[in-house]
A = this chain, B = another copy of it.
Amino acid sequence: MSRHAGSAPTLATVAAEAGVSRQTVSNALNSPELLRPDTLVRVQEAIARLGYSPNRAARSLRTRSSHLVGLRVVPAVEDSANALMDRFVHSLVESTGVAGYHVLLFTGEEDDGGTDPYDALLRSAAVDAFVLTDTFRENPQAARLTRRGVPFVAFGRPWGDARARHPWVDVDGRAGVTLAVEHLVSRGHTRVAWVGWQKGSLIGEDRRSGWVDRMHECGLSTSRLSARGEDTLDFGARAARALLDVSPEDRPTAFLCASDTLAMGVVRAMDGLGLRPGRDLAVVGFDDSIAAQVCTPALTSVRQPLEEVAVEVVRCLGELLAHRPVASPGRVLVPTLSVRATS
Known: A8-B125, A97-B106. A56 touches B66 (CB 8 A): yes
Report the bound CA distance from A106 to B95 in whole Å.
10
Whether A126 is near chain B, meaning CB under 8 Å from some CB there, is: yes
CB–CB A102/B106 < 8 A = yes
- State how many angstroms separate the Cβ of A59 from the closest Cβ of chain B: 8
A binding-site residues for B, Cβ under 8 Å: 8, 51-58, 60-61, 66, 68, 73-76, 78-81, 83, 85-87, 89-90, 93-94, 97, 102-108, 114, 120, 123-126, 233, 260-261, 264, 267-268, 271, 289-291, 293-297
- State how many angstroms separate the Cβ of A315 from the closest Cβ of chain B: 18
Contact of A68 among B73, B104, B291 (CB under 8 A): B104
27 contacts between A and B (CB under 8 A): A51-B114, A51-B123, A52-B123, A53-B123, A55-B61, A55-B124, A56-B66, A56-B124, A73-B93, A74-B90, A76-B86, A76-B90, A78-B290, A78-B293, A79-B294, A81-B290, A85-B86, A93-B107, A94-B107, A102-B106, A102-B126, A103-B104, A104-B105, A260-B294, A289-B291, A291-B295, A294-B295
Taken together, the copies of this chain in the complex come to: 2
Known: A53-B120, A76-B90, A83-B83. A271 touches B296 (CB 8 A): yes
In the complex formed, the residue of B with least CB distance to A97 is: B107
Known: A79-B290, A94-B107, A103-B106. 17 other contacts (CB 8 A): A51-B114, A51-B123, A53-B120, A55-B124, A57-B57, A57-B58, A73-B90, A78-B293, A79-B294, A83-B83, A83-B86, A83-B290, A97-B107, A260-B294, A264-B295, A264-B296, A294-B295
Contact of A90 among B75, B80, B296 (CB under 8 A): B75
Q: What residues of chain B lie closer than 8 Å to A54, measured between beta carbons?
A: 124
CB–CB B293/A79 < 8 A = yes
Contact of A56 among B53, B73, B81, B126 (CB under 8 A): B126
- State how many angstroms separate the Cβ of A57 from the closest Cβ of chain B: 4
Report the bound CA distance from A126 to B100 in whole Å.
13
